Every structure is written in C-alpha cells, then in structure tokens.
Structure 1
Amino acid sequence: MKRRLIAAAVTLLLVGGAVGSAAADAPSERPAQADAASVQVPAGVTAGVAVFDRQTGAFTEQLNSSATFRSASVVKLLLALDYLWDRGPGYVVPAADRAWLEPMLRSSKDSAADNYWSDNGGSAIITRMVQRLGLRDTAPPPATHPGYWGYTALSARDTVAIYRYLLDSAPAPVRDFVMGNLRKSTRCASDGFDQHFGVAGAFEKPWAVKQGWSGSYEKGTCGPAGTTSATRTASAAPAAAADVDLTRPALHSTGTVGAGDRSIVAVFTLHPVGTSYGKAYTDIGRLTRSLNVPGATRPAGWWYGTWSDHVNVRPNASTGNAAITQLPAGVEVLVGCQARGEEVQVPPYTNDWWAYLPQYGGWISNIYISSPDNKMPDVKDC
C-alpha cells in the first residue's frame, strides 16, 4: 500500500528540518559517486573550510579558513599533544593514561578531557600549544568560562597546521599514537552521538578523524536501541566572546583522507539555533562531499533523506533481530541497494522494501526513506 502522500508531508515537517530544502528540491537522490565541485555551503550554515594536499603542498579548498569557531571536541587533539610533549625518548604511554587518552581520541570521551584540563593548567594548555605549533588563530576559552575547554577558539587553517605537525614533524611514536587512534574512530561517541558525519561519511577509508559537536541538540541515540545521553547544550555561554560564536549549534569534521594521509580536511560549521542533529549532520555531509579532496575515494550508492525519530538499523531486512544502532532523526543516509523483506506498517501505510546502508552495515525499512514510492526508483536491487 502506498504511503507517500502523508510521508511526503511528514518529511517536510520532520526531515524538512533534517535534510534541508534539497529534500524537497530533489537532489538528495543524486548518485553518491558524483564528482566534487567547489565548496557548497547549505543555506543557513556558516562554515570555515580548509583542504590541504600534502603531495603538492598546496591548499585545494579555503573558505573563511582563518575564521574562529568554538572548537568543541576538536581541541582534544591539542590536549593529547600537550600530554605527549617532551615524553621522549620512547614516548611510552602508561596503561592508566591510555585508558583516558584512547577513548578521548576514538570516541570523544569528555570526562577524560575534563580531568586532563583541570589537572594540567586549563587554559595554559592552549597557550603552550599555540606557542609550540605557531598557531595563528587559536585562543583559550573566554575568561568567563575557564573550564569550558570546548570553547577554545580554533580555525580551519590552524587545524591543518596541527595535522601537518602530527604528520610531518612530530616524533614517530607521537604521530603513530594520535593518528592510530583517530583511524579507530568509533561510530558511536561516548555520549551516544553518531560521530561519523562529514569526512567519515563523505569518503571511503583510509581516513582518520577527530570530530566536534556542541549545542542544544536532542539526545544522542547511537548504539543499540534505547541508548541515550545527556543533551549537548551551549545555552550557558556568555552573549559574546572575542568574535567566537558560543550560541549557535556547532558541528565540525577534521582529519586526513587517502593513502598516506594525502589530504588534510578541516570543516567547521555553525547552524541556526534550533537545528536538529540530523539536519546539521546532513548539512555538513553535503558540504564535505562538495570538496576537492585529492586522494579521496567516494562511496558508491545514493543519498536519501529519512524521516521519523529513532529509526532502527537492523542486521537484516527484518524487525526480528535487535537493532545495531538508531539513526539521528531525519538524517540523510547512503543507500547501497534495496531488497524485499518483512512488511513494516506505519498505519495506514505498509512497505516490504528495505534499504541497505553500507556505512552502517545494516538495513532500514523503506517506509522511513523520503522517496515517492515504496521502492526507490534509481537504487539497484541487492
């Protein structure tokens, strides 16, 4: 039974905020393997972007690259480097310290950053790293919020400089430790947010990523059904602080892409107040996919919007097994193929087609896909 008249209306309400105008304007169904063009910033988004090709030694993209954003968890790169500084000659990391460093880098665990920040001088950490790396735009959090490490000011070009130090100048054990952990980035962050947006979603591996998010987003639901976390909020921020916006929801994606870490990518974004996580996730994904990133391989498939909250990703085309994870509400997903499976009902509509999501290694019912028919018209059968 067709379900699309209501689904389309629901899409405008639930996904219209989640996938933006393109969900209605159609291009969300464009093939995922389309070639990248110049930077495409979705409506309402403020962005700072830098892409550096290490093979040629030149930037391939720069957009507001010196503009400063609150760093959110991207600053954890500097916390890790500060810890590792002058620990030679062997740069051995004791097991007790690995226990907080590894989850801080892989799954962005905040409590690890809290402890290191409070025990090692707070803002003095940033001052030390600015001097050591010659950063031009980076600054400690505002004096009104000294404990808010995520309010450190950071730019796209300074983020490229941090990665260039890691890859080209840092002692090999430091490089291997930090980059090795970034290559093991977990889809589900420690606080329940799906952190494989931006670079991690736009390109095939090999990549290494350190992501950041900050704002009044709804609770994260990444992981088995029912997993939640505390809401991220920036509402306690001061009204103004040295040109760094501490109010609008932030979502940042940074890292390296391609064999030999050929390209360094830094994408910083701010979104209108009230933007859902799925909408911000979708917008930074579209922006990142538009970039010229030498050495990158783009995943095959088709990008489609979704609707509804807490959509379960299943290990097969059936509701009989426990969910692998849940999608951010209304997020755009890469569909690899589709197949018939268990019939799903969202009264008064039914659908027995399922979409395979290769980046999740699982399936969602097509009833939650923003498409005019039960079967997506351009997606191949599995």
Structure 2
Amino acid sequence: MRLRLLGAVAALLLVCGVAGSAAADTPSERPAAPAGTQAAASVQVPAGVTAGVAVFDRQTGTFTEQLNTGTQFRSASVVKLLLALDYFWDRAPDYSVPAADRAWLEPMLRSSDDKAASAYWSDHGGPAIITRMVRTDRLGLSDTAPPPAGYEGYWGYTALSARDTVTIYRYLLDKAPAPVRDFVMGNLRQSTRCASDHFDQHFGIAGAFDKPWAVKQGWSGSSFEKGTCGTPGSFVAKTDPTTGTTTDSTTGTTTDSAGTSAAAAAASVDLARPALHSTGTVGANDRSIVAVLTLHPTGTSYGKAYTDLGRLTRSLDVPGGVRPAGWWYGTWSDHVNVRPGPSTANPALTQLPAGVEVLVGCQKQGQRVDVPPYSNDWWAYLPQYGGWISNIYISTPDNRIPDVRDC
C-alpha cells in the first residue's frame, strides 16, 4: 500500500514536481452538488483569471448572470459560429447542405476543425466575414470586430464579448430559418469530447451540466501543451457501471490552433494570455444560453485553465441545468490514461489533460498500479469519460477515496 511520509500531498511532490498542485487547492476536494440541484447565483472567478460571463434564461427573458459582458476577448474557435452563419446567410429559400460542404461544416462545428475554418476564411473574404455579420441588418453585434491590422489571416483573433455571444445564440434559436437552426444547433449537440487537434473540449458547460446541452468551445495559448485526447478515428463502446447502459464515442481528426504570437500582445484585444471559452445552451429546449469567456495568467497549462473554467462555470445560476452526480477531485501526473475497465490491460480510451479536475462517479478495486513508492488497487470511474483511472492519480491521501461510493 501507499507509504505515508509527510502526508500524501507532500509524498506525491517527491514523486512528481507537480503532483501536489491539484490536491493543494481545496475546492478540488469538495463533492459536487447533488444531481438536479442548482447552486446560488454567484460568479466565482478563480484567482488570476479574467472573465466575461452572461447567462440568459430564454423562458423568462432575463439574465441570471452578468459579469464584464461587454469586455472584448479574442474569440478563438467561437468565431466558427459566425463562419457557419455567413455560409447560410444568402442561401434562401434552399438551405440544404451539399455533401461536399457538410464534410467540412460538421467537423468545424462538432470537433472545432481548424482546416475547415481557415479554408472558408481565406475563400470568403477573411475579415469581411465579420464585417458582414456584425451589421444591424444581420446580427447587430456591438462588441465584435475583425482581427487587428497585421493579423487579418487569424480568424481566432476576432474580438467577441459575452453579450454578443448571447446575441448570436438568440438569433440561432429564435430568428434563424429552421433548417439553419437545426443544422447548427444539431451539430453543437454532437460536440465530440476530443477535438480535431486532440484537445479535450468538454470543459466548462459540457463538464458542469448533464445533457441536454450544445456547445461551441474555444482555446488559444502558447502554453497549452499538445493535445493528447483520444486516437484519430477511434471507436469505443463503453459501459457505465452506475446505469448498465452502453454508449459509443468517436473522436476528431485534425487541428485547432487559433494561434498566439508574442508580437500581437500590443493589440487592443489581449492576444497573448491563454484563452479558454465555453459557450452554448443548457437544458431542455435550450432554456439557458451560457457564455463564459476567460483569459488566464501567462504560462498557464491547459489542465489548469480547464479546471479553473470548470469551477467558474459550476458556480453559475443556469436555469434548466442539471448538475451531474459525483465528486470533483484533482489529478496529478501527465498523460493519465482513461481505460474501459479497472486494469492497465485495457487499451486507453483517451488521456486526461495534465492535472485536470475530474468528476468521480464511484470506485472499485481492480488491478494494482505501482508508482514507487506507492501502490494502489482502487480505481475511479469517470462518468463523463465513460472510463476508469487508477486512484493512484487522484489527489487524495487514501487509496480508497473516503467520500466516494463503491461501484
């Protein structure tokens, strides 16, 4: 069994220099809210994070959360919503999508494929796309602007705010022709966990709430390590031990880098700090529109930004949102494999972002895993991944996590 030196956190620090980082942050040890409950309205922004937040309840026609709603952020891949709408704008009355266009539109919306976005950007006027879409006779966006001079080729440098993001979704849901709404929102509901560049994109909204939800995420940062999510073209059947149901998952295939240049830091919109955004709808009939745009301190890792955005999103009052059952815990180490069963004999389904928080649904004993000087035969089931990780990588002092039920 694991040795106890100066406590598990200190001991893990001897094994790996970053091992104790998640455990030292006490919110990672708190259990999640019970399924079906809603936390009180209070935007909790982690230290060092700059955030723009808007939550709009379509049922009451009111905002339940507003923070820095007009602040401009570089859009990263959220701008792909505008590219898709620009594609459809003048296609009336026939909004059918030819197979050749479906082949790039669907990966762009579901898996945030950059090659598709770059091709459309270069073929349809680049910054002129944004200029068209902000007009009052189209979306009437107040804070959205094309990339700054010198960066016209960087679609991810488009300026965007939380309130404009809500406006985009309100247009999609309430004003867009039904075929356009159904195509765009239908693809956002099928967001793949693994994006085309192998970044895990089910952070923020997708981690904080049970389905139904629809998301378009965005990420951009030179400190974000290479994505390790999934394997190109993988197809895996997974069984949830809490329900006995089996589901299938597929992953994306290419790349999602909006680009970050140190030379761009002087632009009016911050183009240098790592950006991570979660936007979309939550609840039956897309009841709530949620926009969470964030910037993180220079050098922030993807796992850290992913965790901080998750905590912020879980603090929001989102009408219609159902919170998943389980307990949130930090993890340590790089490239932690998520497996279909509690054994290393099972091939990995995917790998976790380094040091990310995970929702643990239950735990059981399985194969012993050794990371000298520790050993652990308990495994945690991660319902949002449909797989298992060894408890040795969970930031908790015990082999068996005290407050997590057995599977």
Give your verdict on TM over 0.5: yes
Which residue in 2 is equivalent to 1:162?
168
1:36 correspondence with 2:32:
no
Matched, 1:369 2:363: no
Name segments (4+ residues, structure 1) moved above 4 Å. 3-7, 225-233
Matching residue of 1:106: 110
1:206 equivalent to 2:212? Answer yes
* Pair 1:220 & 2:227 matched: yes
Provide the C-alpha distance between the structure 2 equivalents of 1:279 and 1:229, rounded to a whole number of angstroms.
23
Match for 2:267: what amino acid?
A
Of the three residues 327, 330, 355, the one matched with 1:305 is 330
Partner SS, residue 18 of structure 2: helix
The reply to whether residue 75 of structure 1 matches residue 79 of structure 2 is yes
One of 313, 316, 341 as aligned partner of 1:316:
341
Is 1:175 aligned to residue 181 of structure 2? Answer: yes
For residue 8 of structure 1, what is the amino acid of its counterpart?
A: V
Question: 2: CA distance between counterparts of 1:375 and 1:282?
Answer: 23
Partner secondary structure for residue 183 of structure 2: helix
Which residue in 1 is equivalent to 2:267?
241
Q: Which amino acid aligns with 1:328?
A: P
1:244-283 matches, within 5 Å, as: 244-283=269-308
Question: How far, CA to CA, are the matches of 1:169 and 1:192 in structure 2?
Answer: 34
Give the secondary-structure state (helix, strand or coil) at the position aligned to 2:265.
coil
Change (3 A) 1:308 1:83: same
Query: For the residues of structure 2 that align with 1:4 and 1:275, how far apart are their CA atoms?
Result: 30
- 2:240 is matched with none
Deviation at 1:4, TM superposition (A): 5.4
> Is the Cα contact below 8 Å between 2:115 and 2:255 reproduced in 1?
no
Question: Is 1:117 aligned with 2:121?
Answer: yes
Is the 8 Å Cα contact of residues 105 and 181 (structure 1) preserved in structure 2? Answer: yes
Q: Structure 1 unaligned segments of length 5 or more: list them.
A: none
Q: Which moved more, 1:26-35 or 1:162-171?
A: 26-35
Q: Is the Cα contact below 8 Å between 1:50 and 1:265 reproduced in 2? A: yes
Deviation at 1:3, TM superposition (A): 4.4
Task: Return closer, same or farther for 1:333/1:51 CA change in 2, 3 Å cut-off.
Answer: same
Identity across aligned pairs (percent)? 80
How high is the TM-score relative to the length of structure 1?
Answer: 0.95
In 2: Cα distance, 1:130 partner to 1:94 partner: 26
Residues 15, 51 of structure 1: alpha-carbon distance in 2 compared, 3 angstrom cutoff? farther
**Matched letter for residue 230 of structure 2:** G
Matched residue type, 2:31: P
What amino acid is the match of 1:68? Q
Structure 2 residue 27 is the aligned partner of structure 1 residue 27 = yes
TM-superposed deviation, 1:28: 1.6
Q: Which residue of 2 aligns with 1:341?
A: 366
Q: Which amino acid aligns with 1:240?
A: A
Contact 2:382 2:388 (8 Å CA) reproduced: yes
Residue 294 (structure 1) aligned with residue 300 (structure 2): no
CA offsets 1:39-93 (integer angstroms, 9 cap, x no match): 0000110000000000000000000010000000000000000000021212011
The CA deviation at 1:355 is: 0.1
| Residue number in structure 2 paired with 1:8 | 9
Give the letter for the 2:172 counterpart: L
Q: Deviations over 1:103-138 (max 9, x none)?
A: 000000000000000000000000000001000000
What CA distance in whole angstroms lies between the structure 2 residues aligned with 1:173 and 1:196? 26
Aligned residues, how many? 377
The change in CA–CA distance for 1:263 and 1:8 in structure 2 (over 3 A counts) is: same
CA distance in 1: counterparts of 2:227 and 2:139, whole angstroms: 34
Map of 1:284 onto structure 2: 309
8 Å CA contact retained: 2:196, 2:256? no
Q: How far 1:288 moved relative to its partner?
A: 0.1
Gap change, CA 1:134 and 1:349, over 3 Å in 2: same
1:239 to partner: Cα distance: 2.5
- 2:191 counterpart of 1:190: no
Where structure 2 has 5 or more consecutive residues not aligned to the other structure, the ranges are 235-250
Q: Secondary structure at the match of 1:166?
A: helix
Between the aligned partners of 2:194 and 2:111, the Cα distance in structure 1 is 7
SS for the counterpart of 1:162 is helix
Q: Which secondary structure state, in structure 2, belongs to the residue aligned with residue 223 of structure 1? A: coil
Letter of the 1:172 counterpart: A
Question: TM-score scaled by structure 2?
Answer: 0.89
